[in-house]
Every structure is written in C-alpha cells, then in structure tokens.
C-alpha cells in the first residue's frame, strides 16, 4: 500500500522523533522539503506546523539546550558548547543559562577528557603544547587548560 507524501507537520514530527530540534533547525530542514501550495506559502505552512507542535509541547528550546549539554557536555568545553547552541539558533539568554551550568564543572570535565586522551603529564614542551592544543580544540578555556596540565593536588585545591 502506497502512502502519500508527508505533511509539513508529519515531517517535523519525524525529525523530532530522531532527536530534539530547535525551531530554527526545523525551519531550515523543512524549507528544503516543503513546496508552496495554492492555500499558503511554504513559510506559512512551516510556521503554522511549528506553532502547533510548540503548543502541544513537542517543540522546546529548553529541551534542545539540555540535550546538547547532556550529549556533548562531557566531551567539550564551554566555548564549543556555545558555538553548538548558537548554531542551533537558540535564544542568547538560554545559551547563557546553559553555559553557566556547564562552566560549573568545566575543570572536572576538562580533566576527564585529558585523562582519557593522555593520562600523564607532558614530559616536554612540545608534548605540553600538543596537549594544550587538544584541549583548546575541544573548547576549554585557557585557565582551565593550565590548571589541568599543572597537575597534582594544588591544581584541584580551591577554585
């Protein structure tokens, strides 16, 4: 039995079933697939469908931010998380709140990432630079990187 094409709302639900999406992400994805019809333009169809999903509680910017933090927070620093959240088109206030939450544990997360990758303090300046570049590429702040590579108990005393 052949089924007709998915409606705009059906396509949006399919995307949301895969993972949390922000409104801006869904608008971009749906705009590539939706065609103008006699009754409404593509933008109007998309806006109407997304408004209905948001009213039903199926589309939530806060859940998007929480899912990014849960999925990527253990591997990346605040800078990288900021870039990801902004690319999803989230509100600046929500991005800032999410990053405050992530920054509270940034030192511990950076240490865990460093420990998994390297496990021992650098023996040479070249190795230290390599480890610093790795952590910087993961989006960790410079002062956090310095504290991780400082090693020893004094790096973990006080904040």
- 10 Å CB burial of residue 148 (0-12, 13-18, 19+) is buried
What is the mean pLDDT for each group of 10 consecutive residues in the chain (159 residues)?
72 94 94 72 90 95 96 96 96 96 94 94 95 97 95 51
Asked whether the beta carbons of 91 and 147 are under 8 A apart, the reply is no
Tell me the C-alpha distance between 143 and 67, whole Å: 27
For 81-112, write each residue's pLDDT tens digit: 999 999 999 999 999 999 999 999 999 999 99
C-alpha to C-alpha distances, 128 to 14, 66, 104, nearest whole angstrom: 46, 33, 25
* pLDDT, position 36: 63
What tokens does 134 get? 């790795």
* pLDDT, position 39: 62
The whole-model pTM stands at 0.83
**Displacement of CA 4 from its chain's centroid (Å):** 34
Asked whether the beta carbons of 85 and 66 are under 8 A apart, the reply is no
* pLDDT, position 43: 87
- 10 Å CB burial of residue 158 (0-12, 13-18, 19+) is exposed
Fold (topology level) of 106-155: Arc Repressor Mutant, subunit A (1.10.10)
* pLDDT, position 143: 95
Asked whether the beta carbons of 89 and 25 are under 8 A apart, the reply is yes
* pLDDT, position 5: 78
Residue spans of the domains in the chain: they are 8-55, 61-103, 106-155
């Amino acid at each position: 039995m052949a089924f007709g094409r998915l409606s705009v709302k059906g396509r949006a639900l399919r995307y949301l079933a895969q993972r949390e999406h922000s409104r801006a992400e869904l608008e971009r994805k749906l705009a590539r697939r939706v065609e103008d019809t006699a009754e409404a333009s593509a933008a109007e169809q998309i806006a109407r469908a997304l408004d209905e999903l948001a009213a039903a509680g199926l589309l939530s910017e806060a859940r998007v931010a929480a899912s990014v933090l849960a999925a990527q927070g253990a591997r990346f620093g605040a800078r990288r998380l900021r870039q990801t959240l902004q690319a999803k088109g989230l509100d600046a206030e929500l991005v800032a709140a999410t990053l405050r939450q992530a920054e509270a544990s940034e030192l511990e997360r950076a240490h865990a990432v460093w420990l998994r990758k390297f496990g021992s303090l650098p023996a040479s300046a070249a190795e230290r630079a390599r480890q610093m570049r790795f952590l910087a590429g993961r989006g960790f702040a410079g002062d956090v990187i310095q504290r991780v590579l400082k090693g020893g108990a004094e790096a973990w005393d006080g904040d």
